[in-house]
Chains A and B, each alone.
Chain A
């Protein structure tokens, strides 16, 4: 039998009060764990994609943050569009010419290199068209290069792979321009598999449906990135959907000043001509990282187009919005824990009168003052750590329960262990400090208990 055993027995003797106090502490700790887990999910969701695998996003002038949210996370509404010619300006001479001849239509100076080709040599430029939906999920019109060139993961070390099927192609005999690849979560939630078809809706999830169906040719492996939550369709098919062609002529670059180029693939179905195409954004990887700032400055001098660094936007957003909110939540939950610790103090302190007799007996049996002080402190610790452990398990069980919903919204998988954050390692010493502080007043009362006065009571 030791002091811990005595403290445990004391706690047991006042079972209901101890259990209620422990429950109050467990609620506080569960709240801390949930807040930390939510913070982890938020931070993870941003940081996992902070190394996006490209240096710049080129899009319409406007909110840089909105462009990043749109393009990296498929959040928020798409902003204005930029002409397809802006994408062509990022291509080297041969690639630009081939692209122009593949599509056909009116374009300025079809045989020169793109204005920014020097920057992207050794890198890539991938166009994106946003605005349609498949159920609640974003539809992304893009090129097959999206899955060929882009990498994902914290160090952009992973290639995209398919759990079934293949990447879509620019044009196929069987499906024409209308092939699609689904993110893992989209396929799961929408119940789609390779070979199925779907039609997109225009503008918002409840919007008007387009008449042309896309055939699913591939399902992506889960990546834990926003791409799990997107449906990727061939950009050529996207352009052929109703309402996706440019409605108004670009007055800054009138069509009559452009040269008409005949397309060289007469055997294929006819795509939307160049002068009728717009884009939401272009993902750009420059040949050398040093080029990124120079290219950004060059593009930003233009009237209608801007280039942003997605990493900077994500970091700024974390620092400006997310971290302060996380800190505020954490502060609130710490206050809840302090209130729980005070309830331990009140609970033990209120019982001190009835304990004085027991303390006097222990002292009469030879217990030193510091021994009875330790018994009370240990009881406070047992309640705090017991409650803390329950709260920790409860908090993680709650986050586990919320896992499917979180995964559906963020693409982040929640397990019992992967949400344990570094801050949680401070929980145990934090609880010990709190419990010691809470127990110190009643422990001092125990320390000062007059033995002879309380023995007979």
Chain B
């Protein structure tokens, strides 16, 4: 489902020097497989997800999603793959405040051509327990409910791969487990591969496959060696 090979990314600093942030020689995720990625703060976890999603272009390397090498595609091509094959749950939910819960979910469908399935959007919100809140705007929802809407939105286009970036970081402990369970159950039910980034050892402990970014990020190893 997901193959990452020799992925490199560095950021330019204001003084003109380059700061390497990622160097992933190999990373694989099978269809419907669920994995968690842990790592220290600032270690490049979000950048890694952005590179997979095609939001950020890597400096070099190869990303292949569902047998499509996205790193060879144009920006518009990557946008199309992102809309059709990827779901993304952000740490800060990133719901659009002017849109209702239902509209936020349907927004995800708008950009995947030909997908305007109102029933699926409604079903998804029912599944995440917000059937009574379809027409509420994010400001009228609790933090936990907002993240549920974000989960429903990420699943709207029946993606092959769901990327979640610290999905419980801004949620109270009582709701954290509910969200994690919800994401995992939904992915399992729809056969979606899941790559979850977290810094929580409690969350990581629930997954069969736990990957530490520092284990295969050669940048960090080099940085550590230099230190």
Residues on B facing A (Cβ under 8 Å) = 47, 50, 53, 55-56, 75-76, 79-80, 82-84, 86, 88, 90-92, 94-99, 103, 106-112, 116, 153, 157
Contact = CB atoms under 8 A, between A and B. Distances in A.
Interface in A305-337: none
Interface string A349-362: 00000000110011
A188 interface: no
Interface string A415-457: 0000000000000000000000000000000000001100110
A357 B110 CA distance: 18
Contact of A455 (B55, B84, B116): B55
Closest 10 CB pairs of A and B: A366-B83, A13-B98, A366-B111, A1-B106, A367-B111, A366-B82, A368-B79, A361-B94, A452-B56, A451-B55
Interface of A: 1-3, 5-6, 9-10, 12-13, 357-358, 361-371, 451-452, 455-456
Contacts of B107: 1, 6, 362, 365
Contact of A12 (B76, B84, B98, B112): B98
Nearest to A360: B94
B90 A455 contact: yes
Contact of B96 (A361, A363, A452): A361
B55 A365 contact: no
Nearest to B113: A366
Contacts of B112: 366
Contacts of A370: 76
Nearest to B121: A1
A365 B90 CA distance: 11
A367 B79 contact: yes
Contacts of A12: 98
A368 B95 CA distance: 18
A407 to B, nearest CB: 48
B98 A364 contact: no
B106 to A, nearest CB: 4
B55 A364 contact: yes
Nearest to A357: B94
Given A9-B98, A9-B99, A13-B98, A363 B110 contact: no
Nearest to B85: A366
Contact of B153 (A2, A365, A369, A371): A365
A369 B97 CA distance: 21
Nearest to A359: B96
Q: Select the residue from A3, A357, A366 with max chain B CB neighbours within 10 A.
A: A366
A364 B150 CA distance: 13
A6 B110 contact: yes
Given A1-B116, A452-B56, A368 B111 contact: yes
Nearest to B87: A365
B55 A363 contact: yes
Contacts of A366: 79-80, 82-84, 86, 108, 111-112, 157
A141 B97 CA distance: 76
A3 B94 contact: no
B94 A364 contact: yes
Contacts of A358: 96, 98
A90 to B, nearest CB: 79
A128 B98 CA distance: 73
Given A1-B103, A9-B103, A452-B55, A364 B75 contact: no
24 contacts: A1-B116, A3-B110, A6-B110, A9-B99, A10-B98, A12-B98, A13-B97, A361-B94, A364-B90, A365-B107, A366-B79, A366-B82, A366-B112, A366-B157, A367-B111, A368-B75, A368-B76, A368-B79, A369-B76, A370-B76, A451-B56, A452-B55, A455-B90, A455-B94
A364 B93 CA distance: 12
A367 B75 CA distance: 11
A369 B75 contact: yes
Given A9-B103, A364-B82, A371 B111 contact: yes
Given A13-B97, A364-B82, A365-B83, 4 more contacts: A3-B110, A5-B103, A366-B79, A366-B83
